[in-house]
Amino acid sequence: MTDLFAVDVQRILWRQMTWMMAAFGVLIVAAAGVILFVHTGNHHLFATRSDLRAAVAAAVVPLAFAGYMLGASALGADYTSRALTTLLTWEPRRRLVLASRSCASALVTAGLTVVVLLALIVALLPSAILHGTGGAPNGAWYLSMAAMTLRCVLFTAAVSVVGVSAAAIGRSTTAAVIGIVLYLVLIENTAVQALPSFARWLLVTDAISWIGQNSHTSAGAPNGHTVITGGLLLVGGMAALWAFATRALARRDVT
Amino acid sequence: MPSPSQNAVVEMVGLTKWYGRGAGGRLALDGLDLVVPSGGVFGVLGRNGAGKTTALRCLLGLVRPTSGVCRVLGADSSSDLHRVINRIGALIETPGLTPSLTGRRNLALLARLDRIGADGVERALRAAGLAERADDPVATYSLGMRQRLGIAAALLRDPEVVVLDEPANGLDPAGIAEIRRLLVSLAAEGRTVLVSSHLLDEAEKMCDSVAVMEAGRCVAVGPIGDLLASAGTGGVIVGVAEVGAARLVLVAAGLNVTIVDGRLRVSCPPADAARVTELLAAERLFVNELRYETPSLEDFFFGLTTPAGAGALP
């Protein structure tokens, strides 16, 4: 298993897409840092505590998308190129193959998230130091920020596993992308409009609860869930999808 | 049903595979029984759609059989293939590799799974004749080069059993001859090489035994020499100045005679050649060429798999 995992991590790290995502992410946050610095200097002040927190929380959306793409293509591209077929002639235990690929994808996505979030914080520091208001951050704030960053990392890693699972079910990256778009449009949007109470059990609102909450209470959460409840629901959804993907891959013909 | 022998490397018993369900379903394997003995080059021959690739995919656990049993090196392909997989090297159809990575990196990833070092990768690249292009991305490879890389991947483990599906795909004549020599040399080292092909001439040159598949079943199996001898499709080629007159003499004697390229082809066993010369000499028609035409694998194959021949199959 460790050899397979090491190979899967290596395979993802050797892909151009991984490095392009990382470079693009760092570039975007660097540009955002410069724009924000100029903007706060001329027109507004930078509310250090709340703005930094909001920036990290907002960054998780593109990072989750990147993680999903990374996970989906980590398996989907191999399905399409038939590299998966070759791999299965070396390691025929398909559950192990999917587990390893999911873990590798989650690890690389977590690393990518850490790099981009650190770059984001560094990019925002000049604005915070020179144009910041609202008092200097204290220990509790740092602790809260660290916890939120950790939750962001875990969330994007989990989304990456969802991407791997969707590609295993759909047998390609394209199918995985179509799958998530359909989910967001049909379930998160249309179905929720028809049945608003259903929203509290869905991915987006639970992701907001998991990442955006200040404390372990449900106060202010869009769905009334605490950080822990939101996290558990996300993990549960991810695990169910992964189990389905594992079953599909194990039973299916791979040609 | 073949009885499993102790030295069988591959055993397929009643192997059936349906793709799809209901009216749109397609039967790819129809109760296939096949035993591949240890050592030598064993060819699986058949037209496109005969079930060769599906059989090999079942063997490697890639395709789940609808029913039947498939064993390789004693392990069930559907459940405990992992016990023996490190003794098998395989290439199924066009090799599946990561196009954006170089040939060397593709092999290095596979090699790491079995803790094979860089020298093992280098050896496999050299054996497949790819050392010079090893550091180019696979996306830039021709079909023949991809095929070579797939063969290199199959040989990376120094396997006991080599399973190759149409290994000559995309190769030029020199490449095909090179791969043939490679497979024969692998068998000479004591390995079992199981190769599917529709290149009958190549199969005849390199295989010790073959199985002929038709419509998902094995319709003939055995050493090539035995199969050709049993086929009885050979004949005596007779050169004579007056071909027309000679033909009339032999037909009158009850022989089946055709004229091919200005010579007579008499369908009879080699021992009957003396009778042919005797009949012609009696009519003062003197033979200037006499040889026995050995039936080719191609003759044998088409005798079995053409619609007319298929009806007579067991």
Mean pLDDT of B31-55: 93
In this model, does residue A235 exceed pLDDT 90? yes
What's the confidence (pLDDT) of residue A220?
A: 54
What's the confidence (pLDDT) of residue B2?
A: 44
Interchain proximity B97–A86, CB inside 8 Å? yes
Phi and psi angles of residue B117, each rounded to the nearest 5 degrees, phi first = -80, 180
Interchain proximity A15–B95, CB inside 8 Å? no
Per DSSP, B137 falls in state: B
> pTM of the full predicted structure?
0.83
Nearest CA in chain A to B89: A89
Q: Smallest Cβ distance to B95: which of A15, A86, A251?
A: A86
**Top-ranked range on mean pLDDT: pick from A98-107, A180-189, B48-57, B225-234:** A98-107
Architecture of domain B233-294 in this structure: 2-Layer Sandwich (3.30)
Q: Report the residue of A14, A19, A86 to disrupt the B interface, i.e. the one with the largest count of B CBs within 10 Å.
A: A86
What's the confidence (pLDDT) of residue A103?
A: 97
Q: Report the residue of B98, B107, B147, B165 to disrupt the A interface, i.e. the one with the largest count of A CBs within 10 Å.
A: B98
Q: What is the pLDDT of residues B97-124, one digit of tens each?
A: 888 889 999 999 999 999 999 999 999 9
Per DSSP, B295 falls in state: P
Q: Can you tell me which residue has the tokens 């660097």?
A: A30
Q: What is the pLDDT of residues B60-102, one digit of tens each?
A: 999 999 999 999 999 999 989 999 999 999 998 888 888 888 9
Of residues A104 and B310, the one with the higher pLDDT is A104
**Judged by CB atoms within 8 Å, which residues 30-59 of B form the interface with A?**
57
pLDDT band at B252 (very low <50, low <70, confident <90, very high): very high
* B100 neighbourhood in chain A, CB within 8 Å: 15-16
Q: Which residues lie closer than 8 Å to A103 by C-beta, 6 or more apart?
A: A5, A8
Please give the Cα distance from A217 to A228 (Å, whole number): 9
Closest Cα of chain B to A186: distance in Å? 29
A39 touches chain B (CB under 8 A): no
B252 touches chain A (CB under 8 A): no
- Smallest CA-to-CA distance from B168 within B159, B186, B156, B181 is with B181
Mean pLDDT of A61-69: 94
Mean pLDDT of A113-130: 86
What's the confidence (pLDDT) of residue A65?
A: 94
* B99 neighbourhood in chain A, CB within 8 Å: 81
Q: Between chain A and chain B, how many beta carbons pairs sit less than 8 Å apart?
A: 77
Which whole-number Å values give the CA distances from B67 to A255, B22, B61, B63, B64, in the listed order?
Answer: 18, 16, 13, 12, 9
**DSSP assignment of A175-230:** HHHHHHHHIIIIIIIIIHHH-GGGGGGSHHHHHHHHHH-SSSS-TT-TTS--HHHH
Architecture of domain B8-229 in this structure: 3-Layer(aba) Sandwich (3.40)
In this model, does residue A214 exceed pLDDT 80? no
Mean pLDDT of chain B: 87
What's the confidence (pLDDT) of residue A224?
A: 67
What's the confidence (pLDDT) of residue B313?
A: 35
Which whole-number Å values give the CA distances from B95 to A55, A181, B151, B241, in the listed order?
Answer: 46, 32, 8, 55
In this model, does residue B233 exceed pLDDT 70? no
Q: What is the pLDDT of residues A169-195, one digit of tens each?
A: 999 999 999 999 999 998 888 877 888
What's the confidence (pLDDT) of residue A94?
A: 95
Closest Cα of chain B to A154: distance in Å? 27
Interchain proximity B153–A88, CB inside 8 Å? no
Integer-rounded Cα Rg, in Å, for chain B is: 24
Of residues A95 and B260, the one with the higher pLDDT is A95
Interchain proximity B62–A251, CB inside 8 Å? no
B97 touches chain A (CB under 8 A): yes
Kindly list the domain boundaries of chain B, sorted by start residue. Answer: 8-229, 233-294
Residue A91 burial (10 A CB sphere; 0-12, 13-18, 19+): buried
What's the confidence (pLDDT) of residue B314?
A: 34
Closest Cα of chain A to B135: distance in Å? 14
Closest Cα of chain B to A100: distance in Å? 12
- Smallest CA-to-CA distance from B13 within B33, B37, B38 is with B33
What's the confidence (pLDDT) of residue B1?
A: 42
How do B67-72 and B8-19 pair as beta strands? antiparallel
Interchain proximity A255–B57, CB inside 8 Å? yes
What's the confidence (pLDDT) of residue B6?
A: 61
How do A132-133 and A46-47 pair as beta strands? parallel
Interaxial angle between packed helices A139-170 and A203-212, expressed in degrees from 0 to 180 and rounded to the nearest 10: 160
Q: What is the pLDDT of residues B170-191, one digit of tens each?
A: 788 888 888 888 899 999 999 9
In this model, does residue B128 exceed pLDDT 60? yes
What's the confidence (pLDDT) of residue A54?
A: 84
Of residues B152 and A36, the one with the higher pLDDT is B152
Interchain proximity A16–B100, CB inside 8 Å? yes
Q: What is the pLDDT of residues A132-180, one digit of tens each?
A: 776 667 788 888 888 889 999 999 999 999 999 999 999 999 999 999 9
pLDDT band at B5 (very low <50, low <70, confident <90, very high): low
Please give the Cα distance from B242 to B262 (Å, whole number): 10
* B95 neighbourhood in chain A, CB within 8 Å: 82, 86
* A89 neighbourhood in chain B, CB within 8 Å: 60, 62, 85, 88, 90, 92
* A19 neighbourhood in chain B, CB within 8 Å: none
